[in-house]
Amino acid sequence: MSQTTVSVPAARYIPQGRLGIWILIAGELIIFGGLIACYLLYRLRFPEWGAQAAHTSTLLGAINTLVLLTSSYTIVRAHSASLEREKTKIIKWMIATISLGFVFLAIKTIEYSNEISHGFTLTSPSLVKAGDSVGANFWSFYYFMTGLHATHVIVGMIIMTAAIFQVKKEKNFHRVELAGLYWHMVDIIWIFLFPLLYIAK
């Protein structure tokens, strides 16, 4: 079959891996989008959630946002390097991205330990005992959304590590872009979580 005689819609020319990742991203956005929509509805219904949000650390949240935005920049640089097949550069930028992932998780751990030490947990029994079950719901949303997001960060780091091994063998350079697309999705989710959980008080 001659390639010049084939007439197919432009969409068919999307590489399968890239299309697959976009469909995965769409699925993930439904999960997180649904959670964020529910959070927004509750936040509008119960303005007293603002009092609970006041206990989250805006500074640590802002640092984590900066960390993830920077990691999005480093992974897109790795993608640029992958187009030139510059192995050393790709690995350097991807290791920088993974390191930023570790920084994000470390900061999140500090935040969690602070909040748990003040009695704010997934179920917050102290708030429930005090009759503030609405306030306890805020923390359920907080831990579920940030915990699920942190799980995605860990998965992203594993995917990037696997991609680095492939690049080392000079194979599948396009997987750097696919890993990058997943990582950007993780960043976008945080872009929405940060203002809702840390700024609006």
Partner 1 sequence: MNNYRESHEGVIQPEPETDYHGHPNYTKVFFALIGLLAFSLVLGFFTSPMIAVSLIFFVAIIKAGFVVGNFMHLKFEPILIWIVIGVVIFILATFFLCLLPDVTFVERILAK
To partner 1, the closest distance from the beta carbon of 125 in angstroms equals 26
For partner 1, which is the closer residue by CB, 81 or 136?
A: 81
To partner 1, the closest distance from the beta carbon of 22 in angstroms equals 5
CA distance 59 to 170: 41
For partner 1, which is the closer residue by CB, 129 or 201?
A: 201
3-state secondary structure of 14: coil
To partner 1, the closest distance from the beta carbon of 73 in angstroms equals 4
CA distance 189 to 195: 11
Instruction: Answer whether 198's CB lies under 8 Å from 53's CB.
Output: yes
Task: Give the Å distances, CA to CA, from 93 to 41, 73, 97, 102, 185.
Answer: 39, 9, 6, 14, 18
R_g over Cα of the chain: 20
For partner 1, which is the closer residue by CB, 99 or 174?
A: 174
To partner 1, the closest distance from the beta carbon of 62 in angstroms equals 6
For partner 1, which is the closer residue by CB, 43 or 121?
A: 43
Instruction: Answer whether 28's CB lies under 8 Å from 182's CB.
Output: no
Q: Which residues contact partner 1 (rule: CB under 8 A)?
A: 1, 3, 6, 8, 10-17, 19, 22-23, 25-26, 29-30, 33-34, 37, 40-45, 47, 50, 58, 62, 65-66, 69-70, 72-73, 75-77, 80, 82-83, 172-174, 180-181, 184-185, 187-188, 191-192, 194-196, 199-201
For partner 1, which is the closer residue by CB, 70 or 121?
A: 70
Taking alpha carbons only, the member of 190, 33, 196, 43 closest to residue 107 is: 190
To partner 1, the closest distance from the beta carbon of 148 in angstroms equals 16
